[in-house]
Amino acid sequence: MRKLFVFLEKKRLSRSNDKTMNTILVVFKWIAIVYFGLLFLVMGMSGFFIIEDMNLGMGSPIQVISRFWMYYMVMEMFMRFTLQKLPTATIKPLLVLPFPKIKIVNFYIGSSFISAFNFIQLLFILPFAIVSMVQGYSVLGVIAWMIAVYLCVCTMHFVNILIESYKSVFIAVIVVFGLLAAIQYYQLFDSTLYTQHLLYSVYEYPALVLVYGGVLWLAIKMTVRYYVKNMYMDDLLKVKVEVATTREMKWLDGFGTYASFLKNDLRLITRNKRARTTVLMSVLFMFYGFLILRPTEMGGYPTFMLIFVAFFVSGGFLMMFGQYVPSWDSSYYSFMMTQNITYKNYLKSKWLIIALGTGVSMLAAVLYIWTSMDLVYLIIANGVFNIGINGYIVLWGGAYLKSPVDLTANKNVFADKNAFNLRVMLISLPKLFLPILIYYIGFWVYGFWGGFTLLTGIGIIGMFFQNQVFKYIEKIYKQEKYSTIEAFKSK
């Protein structure tokens, strides 16, 4: 049966659309895997000696790794949630065949584990453990510690899946990580002094590795149980009916011909789970500066960090919502193309909703008045640039991102494609690095105000040339029209 599932997966992949783009993504993915693999390998072979030479006064290298392992787990969870693409499956045809549901679930849960995220850490863990044993540390203790570390990595994989399945797990992860971040940020006490013992105790008492194995087993059982419990044909075919609320939104009538499009987008945000989650994530970006900004010894903040934070604070909505145009309309895109709707009006309305969202994000500059006035000015400058330049780049990239969006759910291992994947990230890179590059060009000419003026000026100029830009983007959307319709139909 497993061979049959593998055969069906190969057929599905061979029939997928946009093979050229997928080939490019595979090349970039393997370049990243090789790069980070070599990086982990070098760190694994030299990390022990580097920690010893640093003389941190925190004990042995194993104790140091154990102490800061919690930070790595937080970063690992964030990277998995944003970048890891979980496999998808069309399971409706399988449910009418005499296949036990448990076998279907076990296969796809097992195939989801085949990911670089789950194996690349071994390039650090194994060399580090070997060096530790060569240096005279307890062989049994190091082996147990090494296994516990890797079990943590495996557990994060299934926690990532559970986050998509159980709202309570998502809330629990956010609360735990949020509390740890708040404790460290406000320096209430050093939580790593306590979390260190969670991992280092396995070195001292190797039998405790069974506890980590038990946690992983529990995560696997919860994941399998969820999908077996919810994998019924009735649930897949059932249309969820909710009581609709009418919102006239007359305040949008001032936008003329674009008012109806803007109202539809706002209804989409208020009525659909995926869109609401995306907007919530963009709101969280407004507080990004409080998480990563740390004053230097002189009391100020590094210029690069300020411009970096300013982009994410002002561009959260642009990235989270704008990058899925026209995927938000994938469920009725074919019908929309039969209506008397011009691409220019459609694209202009999307740009307007992005501009409105960016404008609201710019108000977050008020939060940072007591942190740094330079950051406040940069948030405003980046906001103007995002509206005048990056808004066009988002719409241009959308012509090539033909991934349908399931509006009824967040990403799901058995249903929807991963929302934030490598393809989205590659097209997002110009939006991030372009304002940084332009700012530094102005900065080199006339300092801070030179960068501020150049960013703001280019953004304003971009707004004046919107007719020419939309004409070019409209041409691309027309060229990609039928391939986009075909991609949305094949979801």
How confident is the prediction for the chain on average, in pLDDT? 78
Per the omega criterion (within 30 degrees of 0), is the bond before 326 cis? yes
Helices (H) and strands (E) in the chain, counts: 23, 0
Are the CB atoms for 288 and 313 separated by under 8 Å? yes
How far apart (Å, rounded) are the C-alpha atoms in residues 151 and 215? 9
Are the CB atoms for 483 and 18 separated by under 8 Å? yes
pLDDT over threshold 50, residue 400: yes
How far apart (Å, rounded) are the C-alpha atoms in residues 380 and 313? 10
pTM above 0.85, yes or no: no
Give Rg (Cα) of the chain. 25
Q: Which residue has the tokens 């869109």?
A: 275
Calculated CA dihedral for residues 366, 371, 373, 375, nearest 10 degrees: -80
How many other C-beta atoms lie within 10 A of the C-beta of residue 298? 6
How many other C-beta atoms lie within 10 A of the C-beta of residue 151? 19
pLDDT over threshold 70, residue 44: yes
pLDDT band, residue 158 (cuts 50/70/90) = confident
The reported pLDDT for the residue numbered 242 is 46
pLDDT band, residue 231 (cuts 50/70/90) = low
How far apart (Å, rounded) are the C-alpha atoms in residues 233 and 221? 22
What secondary structure letter does DSSP report for 15? T
Are the CB atoms for 349 and 336 separated by under 8 Å? no
Are the CB atoms for 316 and 286 separated by under 8 Å? yes
pLDDT band, residue 273 (cuts 50/70/90) = confident
Express each pLDDT in 321-378 by its tens digit. 887 788 888 877 787 777 777 888 888 888 888 888 888 888 888 888 888 888 889 9
> pLDDT exceeding 90 applies to what percent of the chain?
12
pLDDT over threshold 50, residue 411: no
Which residues, 6+ apart, have CB-to-CB distance to 456 below 8 Å? 380, 381, 384, 385
Lowest mean pLDDT among 14-18, 202-206, 349-353, 374-378: 14-18
What secondary structure letter does DSSP report for 88? -
Section 91-97 average pLDDT: 61
pLDDT over threshold 90, residue 210: yes
